[in-house]
Structures are given as structure tokens and as C-alpha cells.
Structure 1
Amino acid sequence: MSEYGCKVCRILDEYGMQRYETQLLEQWQADPPQRKGYRQLAEWFNTLMLRREMDRAGLSTLGDEAESKYERLRSDEAIAEEVATELSNAGVPIERLRADFVSYGVIRTHLKDCLDSDVDLSSGEWEREAIEISTSHATTKIEEAVRSLRNKDRLSAGGDVTVSVDVELECENCNARLPADRAIRREYVCNCTN
């Protein structure tokens, strides 16, 4: 059995990142407009790991360089491998790093189980979290399917293909449609009455 509570616990220790645990928790427990969901926290955490390894290898991390590299590592397979090779040649232990990247589920486990922490999910917060998790899961599955279709030459494009999953709500009476996040923010879908 592992000496660590979860993958995040191990990474914080092995990468010497314990001081970032407080930031992780603060971003999760922030008030709603600043609060980050599990997916955003996973991206922040992974980018942080990459930035630290790029710094150690003497690579520039000014501006959004680490964020850009992380996004490219998650994009089309050919681009991801090109970036991985570039980072590896510069001394970044990219295969280890990629294996250590965390998913939103791992972040959720760390926050809820290891830190035994919670947030006030009243006023629609748990519902927003459910929509975010479902959208993230759908995006990942669609990206996998699209990548497979492209690899089988059953789907072509002149460049990279980006998957975007938007959740819309529609009133069955007046057929008004709008993005779910906007409807939740303004607290109504339409102005019609039954």
C-alpha cells in the first residue's frame, strides 16, 4: 500500500510542491466568481508542475509559455509528441511528468478525502459543478473519438481540431435558447409564462 493518501499527495512530496497545497485549497474555496472547479484546478496544478520542470531545465517560462506548452501537450497527437520531444531534448523529464499529470477526479479526491475539506455548495454551486464535470467528461470522450477518426483517416481537417461542448437550455413553450451558465447566472431561461 502507498504511503501517500492519493496521487496529489505523492506529487506534492516528490516535486517539493507542498507550499502550493494551500493555494489549491484557497482557489477551490474562493467565493463563486473566483472559485475554480476541479477541471480548472487540475489544469492549474499540471501547468504548475510543467513550469517548475521547465525552470529546472533552464527553459523560459515568461508570460504564458508553460500554459502554451501544456495546452499543446494535450492537443493533436503529432503536436503533442513534437512538444514532448522538444521538452525532453531540453532536459525536462516529460514522460514522468505526463504520467504524473492529474485529472479533475484526482483533484476532487485530494480535496475531499485527503484534506477532508468541503465548500458551501448552496445557491446552485453543486449544480454548476455537476454541469462542469459532465461537460468535461463529454469533451474528453469526444476528443478521443475525433482523434481515433482522424487516425483512421475517416475525418480530415486542414489543421488541428478543437472540440467544444456547450450546454444550452431551451424553453419548450417559446423555444428560447441560451447557454446554461448564462441562464444560471441570470436565474431564468426566458420571460414567457405558462
Structure 2
Amino acid sequence: MSEYGCKVCRVLDDYGMNRYEDQLVEQWQADGGQRKGYRQLSEWFNVLLLRREMDRAGLSTLGDEAESKYERLRSDEAIAKEVATELANAGLPINQIRDDFVSYGVIRTHLKNCLEKEVSTSSGEWERDAIEISREHARGKISEAFRSLQNKEKVTAGGDVSVSVTAEIECENCHTRVPIDRAIRRGYVCTCNK
């Protein structure tokens, strides 16, 4: 049995990042538009981990250098391998670091189970979380399928490719279609019932 509640607990301890746990909770419990979802928190956490290790190795992290490296590590296999080799040659244990990157599900487990934290659900937060989890799942599956198509040379791209998933809501009466985020933000899909 592990001495840690989850992977986040272990990574925080292994990398001396425990002081960032409060920031993680604050970003999750922030009000309204300032609040970060699980996917955003996992990306923030992973970039933070990579940045700290790049700093320790004496690599530049000015600007968005760590964010850029992180995104490239998650992209096309050839690009990810190139970046990983570059970082390994600079002295980073990049394979271990990549193994220690956390998913949004692990972040959720850490916040809810290990820390027993909650956010106010009165403003529709669980619904937003469900939408974000569904989007992240779709994004992952689409990325995986697209990489497979690239590997089979069924589709090409001139550079890195990112996947964006937008869910739309349509009123069956007037057929107005809007992105779900916009409908939630403004409080309605259409005005045909007003």
C-alpha cells in the first residue's frame, strides 16, 4: 500500500512542490470566470513541474518556454521525441518527469478525496465540470484518432495540430444554435419563448 493518497500527493512530495498545493486549491475554488477546471489545473500543475525541473537544470524558462515545451511533449510523436531528447541531453530526467505528469482525473481525485475540498455547486459548477470532462474525453479520443490517421499517411499537416471541441445547443422551435458556453454565460439559448 502506498504512503500517498494519490499520484499528485507523491509528485508534490518527490519534487518538493508541497507549497503549491494551496495555489491549486485556490484556483479550483476561485469565483466565476477565475475558476479553473480540472483540465486547466492539470496543465498548470504539469507545466509547473516541468518549469521547476528546467530551472534546476539551468535551462531558460523565460516567457512561455516551459509551456511551449510541455505542449510539444504532448504533440505529434516525432516532435515529442525531439523535445524529450533535447531536454534529456540538457540533464533532465525527462522520462520520469513525463511519467509524473498528472491527468485531470488525478487532479479531481486529489482535490476531492485526498484534500476533501469542495466548491460551491449553487452556480452550476458540477454541470460545468461534467461538460469539461466530456470535452476533455472527446479531445483525447479525437487527438488519438488524428495521430493514427497521420501515422497511416491518410492526412498531413504542415505543423503541430491542436484539437478544439465545441458543444452547441440548438432550440428545436427556432433552430437557433449557440455554443453551450455562451448559452450558460448569458443564461439562455434563444429568445423565442420570451
- Give deviations 1:91-147, integer Å, cap 9, x for gaps: 111000000000000000000000011111112111111101100110001100111
2:95 matched residue in structure 1: 95
Shift of 1:80: 1.0
Shift of 1:156: 2.3
2:4 matched residue in structure 1: 4
Q: Which amino acid aligns with 1:170?
A: E
Matches within 5 A, 1:46-85: 46-85=46-85
1:43 lines up with 2:43 in the alignment: yes
Provide the rounded CA distance (Å) in 1 between the counterparts of 2:129 and 2:32: 11
Shift of 1:9: 0.5
**What secondary structure is seen at the aligned counterpart in 2 of 1:99?**
helix
**What secondary structure is seen at the aligned counterpart in 2 of 1:71?**
helix
- Give deviations 1:23-64, integer Å, cap 9, x for gaps: 101111111111111000000000000000000110011111
Runs of 4+ aligned structure 1 residues displaced above 6 Å come to: none
1:182 lines up with 2:187 in the alignment: no
1:151 lines up with 2:151 in the alignment: yes
Q: Percent identity?
A: 76
Cα RMSD between the aligned structures?
Answer: 1.1
Shift of 1:160: 2.7
Q: Which amino acid aligns with 1:152?
A: K
- Gap regions ≥5 residues in structure 2: none
- Gap regions ≥5 residues in structure 1: none
How many corresponding residue pairs? 194
Q: Which amino acid aligns with 2:105?
A: G
Provide the rounded CA distance (Å) in 1 between the counterparts of 2:64 and 2:158: 26
Provide the rounded CA distance (Å) in 2 between the counterparts of 1:149 and 1:114: 39
Provide the rounded CA distance (Å) in 2 between the counterparts of 1:153 and 1:98: 27
1:171 matched residue in structure 2: 171
**What secondary structure is seen at the aligned counterpart in 1 of 2:58?**
coil
Provide the rounded CA distance (Å) in 2 between the counterparts of 1:105 and 1:84: 24
**What secondary structure is seen at the aligned counterpart in 2 of 1:136?**
helix
TM-score between the two structures when normalised by the length of structure 2: 0.97
**What secondary structure is seen at the aligned counterpart in 2 of 1:169?**
strand
Provide the rounded CA distance (Å) in 2 between the counterparts of 1:123 and 1:183: 14
2:111 matched residue in structure 1: 111
**What secondary structure is seen at the aligned counterpart in 2 of 1:163?**
coil
1:120 matched residue in structure 2: 120
